[in-house]
Structures are given as structure tokens and as C-alpha cells.
A and B are shown apart, each in its own frame.
Chain A
Amino acid sequence: QKEVEQDPGPLSVPEGAIVSLNCTYSNSAFQYFMWYRQYSRKGPELLMYTYSSGNKEDGRFTAQVDKSSKYISLFIRDSQPSDSATYLCAMSMNRDDKIIFGKGTRLHILP
């Protein structure tokens, strides 16, 4: 079993819809959870950074962590065509620890 599992997609949704992106993981020691957005041929851009379980909201983005289920989610409200990108989940045990990435989910928002 891989440490971090993420459905590669592609996921296509109409503009304005709520998008749900998810990752599961196997290592219960992970405490820090991240979501990165990566446009084609660009470097990853940090969207959300959370610690332990719970929700964090930033504009149209909400990150959710359920450590009991080893499951993290990113919700995008009022999705826009500009949200079309690959979304990578990532996690680490400690702040100074190595980050483990998922393979990314390709998201297409259809105008």
C-alpha cells in the first residue's frame, strides 16, 4: 500500500459546481497536510496548509482533515475555468520532515 493515494482523474465538472478532491494515507504519524495546485508546465503552488484534524477555509477553498479515517479533502466552491489544474495533496510528520506527495488529480472546469 502506498503511503499516499490520490485518484489521478481527470475530473471534469461544470463551471460553478462544487469540487471535491480527496486523498487517503496509511501513516498515522502524519500531522501536517497540504494541498498544492500545479498548472501545466509550472511548479506547484501552495494552496492550503493544515495541522491535525479539522477544517480550514480560505476564500473558495476548504481543506478538511479526518485523521481517524486517514482521509483528507479539498473543496472548491463556485469553481472557475481558471481552477483547471492538477491538485497535489501532500503531508509530513513534522514541520522539518520530508513531505510525501500524492500523484495529483487533474481537474477540468468546463465553461
Chain B
Amino acid sequence: DAMVIQNPRYQVTQFGKPVTLSCSQTLNHNVMYWYQQKSSQAPKLLFHYYDKDFNNEADTPDNFQSRRPNTSFCFLDIRSPGLGDAAMYLCATRVGGKGEQFFGPGTRLTVL
């Protein structure tokens, strides 16, 4: 029944070692988001796709990249993770023209 799926749920990486987080959805929503959420903080939008159009937030570091090969899948690539990138990464989806966003369970990233 899971509609927004994130893998892995927990990811451990080393300082500077590239890591990829994945998100898939069965909702056929055309908008997909990546958020970063640190402890006791609001989710921070990194970027989103509206269909194939990529929209980067102005304050998202260049270290963060994303790919969306098709409607169902979206990836977050962190090229050189730093200790400050340890956080929960949340994927969300939405139907364009409707406001409700649906979140996945998140991937908790630890950087050693």
C-alpha cells in the first residue's frame, strides 16, 4: 500500500564519499520534491520537479544534485557529503494544480 517509497531507510556514508538516495511513487503524481530535515527543524526544500522541469532552491548547495528518469522515480545525489549533511531526507509528491503533498517515510543519512 505504500505510495511514496524511499530506499534505503537508513544510510551510512563516509565523509566525502558520494551517496545516492532514491524515491519512487505509485501515485503517478507529476510533481516530486526533495526536502532535508534536521532534528527539531522544519523540512527544508532542496529542489523539485514539475514534470520534467527541474527547480532548484536558491540556497541549495551545489553538492546536492537530483535526477528524475521517469514519472515514478527520483534520486538525490550528494556528491561529497559533509558532517553537516547528516539529516533525514524526505521525498514528497503532488498532483500539479492540487496543493496536498504526500511524503515518503524518509531516509536518515549518517555521515561518519
Contact = CB atoms under 8 A, between A and B. Distances in A.
A45 B108 CA distance: 17
Contacts of B6: 43
Interface string B31-61: 1000000001111010000100000000000
B16 interface: no
Interface in A26-69: 32, 34, 36, 41-46, 49
A103 interface: yes
B101 interface: yes
A21 to B, nearest CB: 15
Contact of A43 (B41, B45, B99, B103): B103
A96 B29 CA distance: 13
Interface string B91-112: 0100011111111111010000
Interface string B1-16: 0001010000000000
A102 B45 CA distance: 13
Nearest to A46: B100
Interface of A: 4, 8, 32, 34, 36, 41-46, 49, 88, 92, 94-96, 98-99, 101-104
24 contacts: A32-B99, A34-B100, A36-B103, A42-B105, A43-B4, A43-B106, A44-B90, A44-B103, A49-B99, A88-B42, A88-B43, A94-B99, A95-B99, A96-B99, A98-B45, A99-B45, A99-B99, A101-B42, A101-B43, A103-B40, A103-B41, A103-B42, A104-B40, A104-B42
Interface of B: 4, 6, 31, 40-43, 45, 50, 88, 90, 92, 96-106, 108
